[in-house]
Structures are given as C-alpha cells and as structure tokens.
Structure 1
C-alpha cells in the first residue's frame, strides 16, 4: 500500500495570477505529487493549495512552494481580510494512507528545520506537532497579527521559534507548520455589507465563545462582492456538521433580518461530510453510506480488504493481548464507551428519538477515534522519555506529551459519561425488552468513564506544569461528580412503558 500524505499550504497571495501560477508550478515540478485543488480569493488575498503524494515528495513540494512564496510575496505590502503572519502563512500535513500522525509530525519538524535554516524564516510548530502548549492553536500564534507575534518574540523567551532566527523575515514574516487531522474550510456569505452582523454571528457560533463545538469562525468583508462572510474552520465535522453550522448561521442571520447569499468550500471535503449533510437535509431515516451507488460498486469490485482499513474485532483483540504497550487500557476504555454509545443509538432509533440518536452516533465515532489517539499519546510520552536527560527540550516535550496522555483518557471519560446520561433519557421511553439493552449501554459507559478517570488520575500526577495540572484535576473532579449521578440513574428502574 503506498504511503500518502496531504499538504494544504496557505499563501498570502490571491490577486496576482503570475505569482499564483508560480506557486502551482513549484508544487507540480516535484515527481510523484498530485495537485488536488487550488482556491484563491482576492478579498482574503489568499491562495490555498491542496496536494498529496509520498511523504518525501510532499515535503519537497512544500519547501519549493515556500521558497517561491518567499521570493515573490512581500508581506510589507500585503492587505487582505484574512489573518496572516507570513507570506507562506500555514502549512499543515495530514495523514491519508499508510502513514500515522507521528509520521506527519516528523515531516513538519523536517520541513521546519529546513525552512528555518535555508530560508532564514522563523518557524512555529502547531497542532499535533506543537512543541509548546501555548502554540497548539493556530489562532494563538496569530494573536495580534504580525506585530503581536514580533512583540512576543522580542519580550518572551517562551515565544522563540522552534526553528530559524528569533526575528521576523523582512519580506516573508514567519511561518506556521504542523500536523493535524482533516478539517473543512467552510464559508457562508450574507446578503449584506454590514460587517458588524457577520462579526456578531461569528462570535456567537465559535467554540471559543461557547458556541458550536469544533468550530472556528471570523466575520470578514468581501468588498469585491458587496457582502460579508462568516469564514469557518470545522475541525471535526462529526461533532458539528456542515449543515448544523449552516443552519445556525441562517437562524442568527434571520434575527438580524438578513438572508444567506451562498456558502462555499475552500479546498476539499471528505465524502462522509457531504453524506452527513445530505442525509440531514433530506431527513433520511437510518441512512447508510453504502446506499450510495458508487460506494457499493467500489465495494463489489474490491478484490480484498484495504490493508489500511480499521482492524477487525479479532485483530484488535490480538493486538491488545500482545506483549506490547499499545493498544492497552485507554484504547479498551474508548472501545467500551463507543459500544455503549452504539447501544444507545440503537435504542434511540427504535424509540424514534432523532436528536439523541444523532448525539450518540457522534459520540460513538469520537470515542472510536480516541482508541487511536490513546496509542499515539502513549508513544509520544515514550519518545520524550527516550531523549537524553540533558537534552535541552526534554522537559518541554515530556510535559507536552504528558498533557496529551492525560487529555485523551479525560476526553474518553467525558464522552463516555455524556453518552451514559443520554442513554438514561432514551431508556425511559423504551419497552422493557429494549430497556435492558439500554441499561447494558449505561453500565458500559460507567465502566469506560471509570477506566478513563483511573488513567487520567495516574498520569496527572506526573505533570509538572502547575497550571495544566490544576485544570486537569478540576476536570477530573467534575467528571467524577457526573459519574456518581450516572450510577444513581443507572440502577433506578425506569418507568414501565
């Protein structure tokens, strides 16, 4: 099976066709690279390229494009509505096939070292590749724009770049490089030029302000089109779908007496996200993605299982029982939580409870993903511990890895407990026969929550960052309280139906 990595660099150029074409040519000049998409916008003054291929080829293509951007884009003369800190603003790597997140993290580090050393541009690593907890989120690095970053670099030693010089490049500024899971860049345009409306809606819906989970949003003007836009990143469409984001904006816009003009995608979108949106829009009950003709045909012609597919239950059990450190307790806890949520989904479908069904189905998928995340978190701690004791970055890498190793089981516990509480509401309207299955789901949710809390309590004791330690201990206490409530609900007989 070939190894395939996706790269989605964002460049601060959306108006000069010659510069954009030079960037495309730089990518396509590398053998083995497939250019998948290019989106440019004059108002954002930004171009987003999407390409994929062998990891080494992708790294080479990314470096060549950054090199061209450094030569042709002068950030000092740049004006656009999209936040940016560099001529090449951000370069994420995404694992697609035959590669792990750790592979992409190493690609980010290799590219960052090369960009910093050969092009003399300060490089900040973000998301999964972040070497410092304060730099995980892209918006944290961009805070205050280029001048804000320059001030932090000069005044705070915690804001020295991961690679390259400790001062901004005169023309190219700085660059953010990292590794992440796929996200959807999804924009909604309004039939108004009132920027205040767009900013208010963006503030209402984004997660950081208590809005929709896994949604980042800003309001920007589109002067060339005489309207405004809510520009979004959906970091996990399984948590907040495209249709949920769209309809929430539609509702908020209607409150202001404004209609939606259109929505648009920047770059590519997973097929599953469109399936999800179509099923919701059409109110399809019990929709199965294999009902899509092309999907069924592809399955019929598959000679053998894809070696990159998810392991079967038997394969997973064999890997758990092997004499290896992963997968282990965390992954098993996540599986128990996913099974609990799936049982709850079954009950909700039988009871025709649409909202709980959607919530539990999403929780099941998220818990299943945490099985993988738990293994990756353990491996990150192991890598940090293998560094020489006198390695300058060892304390930072170890603290960051331990934070993740505590965060994953905490999230498992939170989601499993949430699933258990939802199942208790579903169970109340089911027949006695199905109530028994729902109760099994609640028991599994309790077990998954307790297991996640046990691992989190163990790992948090190793964390030396006092702020992180305090935050995680507070979350542990909150989950523990919710767990006790769930236990009481579990063994309280539901009313007869």
Structure 2
C-alpha cells in the first residue's frame, strides 16, 4: 500500500476555533490520518502532518485548503513567518510504495484543482517546479502576501502556474513534492533578534553555510529563535547544525536555552545525533536497539489487523495478494460472526430459555471458527506470495532448475491446501447455521439469512481458489483427492441454503 505524507502549512496559529475547523475538514474529507498538528501564535501558523494513501491525502489537502480559504483573510493577517496565503505551502512527501515523481503528479493535480474550483492562484515548487527559480520556496514567497498582491497583476515573472493573476483574500498557495524535511528551531537566551538573524544567515546554504539548511532569525517571546528547515538530515545532520549554532552564539556571549522539533521527524535523524554525542564505536549497530529489532521482526504486514478501509484498499490495488482467497476468508468470518451474534441475541431472552444450552454451545463453536477464518486471511495471501517467490528462484544450472521446479510444485500444493482449509471451516460454520435454522431470536432472522449467504460465498470462493491451482500441480493423486473432497462438501448445499433462507424470510 503506497503511503504519502502531506504537511500543509496554514496561516493561522491564534484562533483556536479556526484551527479546529481546518482540522475537522481534513478529517471529514478523507481517511488520511493526522499524526501531528501544532499552532504557533508568534508565527501565526498551523503545521499539520497527515499520512495516508495518495488519494486520501489529496482529498485531505483540498478540504484543508478550501476551509482555510473561507476562514482566513490575508488582508488582516500578521505573523513572524513568511507567507503568501491562507494555506501557504502544501508538500507531498513519499514514504513507501510511491515515488517522488508520483507525488509530483499529485501536486500538479491538486494545484490545478485548487485554482479551478477555489479560484486561488497556485505555484509549484521543489520537485514539482516548472521553472528553476521556483524550486526554492523563498523565491516564490518574495515580498510575502502584501508584495505578491500587486506584483502578480503586473509582473509576468510572478504569474502563477495555475489560476488567476489576482490574489483573493485567501492569497496564493504553493504546492509541490519533496523529500522529508525537518522543521527545527533553536532558542537563544537573548532578546536581541539581530544575533539570531546573523546566525541564521551564516548557517544557511544560500549564504555559504550548510547544504540542505534554510534558516532565519525571529523575535519570539521571551527569547529569540533561529528557525530552520533541514531538507536532508543525512547530508547535514542535526548535531552538526546545533554544534555550529552553539559556537556562533558563544561569540556573542549567549547560549542555547532549548531546541524544538516542529512537527514530525524520522527516528534515524535523532539516532544519528545520539550516536555522535555518545561517541559510539564501530561495533555499534542500530539493530541493537530493542524497538528496531522488534520492528524488523514484525515488519511483515498483517492483513487481519488492517482497518476495513485499509483492507479494501489493499484488495483494490494492483497487487495479486490479497485476492479472492483472502476475500473468501473474510466472507466466511463475517458469516460466523453474524451467526454468533444471532446466538447471543437469543440467550437470556424470554421464550428461549430452553434453548440456552444449545446456543451457548454454538457461540463457542462459531467464535472458534471465525478466529480460524481470520487467521486464514493472511495465510492465503502468503500462500500465493510463496508461488511468486518460487518462480523467482535461480535456474542457471540443471540442479537449480530441478530445485526451482520442485519448490514451485510444493508452493502450488500449499496454495491449494490453504483455501481448502477455508472451505472446510466454512462448511463447519454452515453446518452450525443450518442447525440453528430459525430457532433464534425472531428479530434477527434477516441476520441469520445474511450469515448463511456470506458463509456460502466464502466456501464457494475458496473452492474456486483450490480449483484454479490444480491444473498447475503434476501430482494427479493429490488433484483427485482435492476434487473428490470438494464434490462431497458441495453436494446438496445450495438446496439446503435456499431452504433456510426461505424459512427465515417467512419469519420477517
């Protein structure tokens, strides 16, 4: 599943009601997860970090820009941080399963949509820039909102990439794709903002300082701040910047009070600085960190632990697994779960006292079966992945070819046996449901009918996944046994299901 980070910066850090409405709009507008949001009253700025699938973060970004444009009047805005719009900048950042170029496509689409539908001029920056002078965000922000308001009308160089050459009260928005950026602030124990500004000038790349550092000095309360964006923490580590600022500050007789990470940060950026200050030797390895080791052990994605939306997104992707086999497990598990629900709704109800031992037993059996089917969701996906892995084995020698062929046959058998386990489990669930019949709570007759259909769907779907693998298996005895077992299981099943559904409907 491709994951994208979106870090929209809004020009509001003081009015909590506006901040809440912007955040609510992004939450309601998509399934992207807001990992962090923080507002700074001095900068009068809100920075939000969201993560999700490409279309989800796209939708969240548009919802946030729309709401901010309706609530923030740039003619009445002031703050320490440079800005040109209610939504100042919106970067797309690739996390996993997606390229920077694909994030660039998202940025272009969003910029065009914002300009067309919201009538907000948009500029493209960083990897999305259509002109070299617009790679750097500072160039686009030149003159800020107040300066751009006039320049956009008359200066062809300030013409937006999309939208009208006139600023509405929402201003303009800069959108683009970039790699991970760390927003990092260092506070000095002085009220002299010129010291912070001088240090900011000295360390930024534009003025001959560090590569990948953009920095400025600001007056914040009660002390001044050297504010920076670190655009490549591997190229210029955080500890190198801190040490330099500390030395520069000492020249003026001041020191660092504290530092601040604004928004999210990769753990490796912090580890790099920790390793530097701890002076760890060359025997050190990050796999010695307990959390890192646990992370690597549990890195394999578990389908059963995904949300419904995440699982459906995986199912809809172009990956062959999860596929019909895993979907069949879900259908069977839903059938078992619904039947267990009907049983629980019957227990303790007036008129069903004599059936309590019967339904108590069925609940225990159904709970066990739906847990088995849930575990089979991942087993089925991994079985198919095993076939794919076998085909990728080397075949450059006769011995390698033989081993590869044997492994392929082994994995194909496994890919048939796993869905056969699903078939057998769904058959056990269906037998219980047929036994329950219409004995349960009369108000849940539609649920027992749905449980029956879901379980039958799971069973038949899993059977298809058994059958599709058999032609690739050379062991004819194995194939014959599989076909015979399926025939026995399926015999008369449709008629029994139709009869139960008819009886359930008669109770509606």
TMscore range, shorter length: 0.5 to 0.7
Deviating above 3 A after TM superposition, structure 1's stretches of 4 or more consecutive aligned residues are 301-305
Deviation of the 1:151 alpha carbon: 4.3
Over the aligned positions, Cα root-mean-square deviation in angstroms equals 1.9
1:165 alignment partner in structure 2: 164
**In structure 2, what is the Cα distance between the partners aligned to 1:304 and 1:106?**
27
Mapped contact 2:30–2:57 kept (Cα < 8 A) = no
2:195 alignment partner in structure 1: 197
Q: Deviations over 1:183-240 (max 9, x none)?
A: 1000001111101100011011111110111100000011xx2110000000111111
Aligned pair count?
304
Mapped contact 2:94–2:179 kept (Cα < 8 A) = yes
Which has more radius of gyration? 2
1:288 alignment partner in structure 2: 285
Gaps spanning 5+ residues in structure 2: where?
A: 303-318, 320-388, 393-508
Q: Deviations over 1:409-428 (max 9, x none)?
A: xxxxxxxxxxxxxxxxxxxx
Q: Alignment partner of 1:29: what SS?
A: helix
**In structure 2, what is the Cα distance between the partners aligned to 1:292 and 1:248?**
29
Deviation of the 1:112 alpha carbon: 0.6
1:369 alignment partner in structure 2: none
Q: Alignment partner of 1:80: what SS?
A: coil
TM-score, with length taken from structure 1: 0.59
1:88 alignment partner in structure 2: 87
Deviation of the 1:302 alpha carbon: 4.1
Deviation of the 1:127 alpha carbon: 0.4
Query: Which structure 2 residues correspond to residues 39-58 of structure 1 after superposition, within 5 A?
Result: 39-58=38-57
1:174 alignment partner in structure 2: 172
2:327 is the alignment partner of 1:299? no
**In structure 2, what is the Cα distance between the partners aligned to 1:199 and 1:105?**
33
**In structure 1, what is the Cα distance between the partners aligned to 2:157 and 2:13?**
33
**In structure 2, what is the Cα distance between the partners aligned to 1:108 and 1:210?**
30
1:37–1:302 Cα change, 3 Å: closer
Q: Alignment partner of 1:278: what SS?
A: helix
2:33 alignment partner in structure 1: 34
2:271 is the alignment partner of 1:275? yes
1:59 alignment partner in structure 2: 58
Q: Deviations over 1:136-182 (max 9, x none)?
A: 1100101122233344423332321111101111x111110000000
Deviation of the 1:265 alpha carbon: 0.7
**In structure 1, what is the Cα distance between the partners aligned to 2:153 and 2:76?**
23
2:13 alignment partner in structure 1: 14
**In structure 1, what is the Cα distance between the partners aligned to 2:188 and 2:199?**
11
**In structure 2, what is the Cα distance between the partners aligned to 1:73 and 1:24?**
14
Gaps spanning 5+ residues in structure 1: where?
A: 308-314, 319-497
2:424 alignment partner in structure 1: none
Query: Which structure 2 residues correspond to residues 71-220 of structure 1 after superposition, within 5 A?
Result: 71-169=70-168, 171-220=169-218
Mapped contact 2:74–2:145 kept (Cα < 8 A) = no
**In structure 2, what is the Cα distance between the partners aligned to 1:33 and 1:304?**
19
**In structure 2, what is the Cα distance between the partners aligned to 1:264 and 1:186?**
6
**In structure 1, what is the Cα distance between the partners aligned to 2:299 and 2:138?**
42
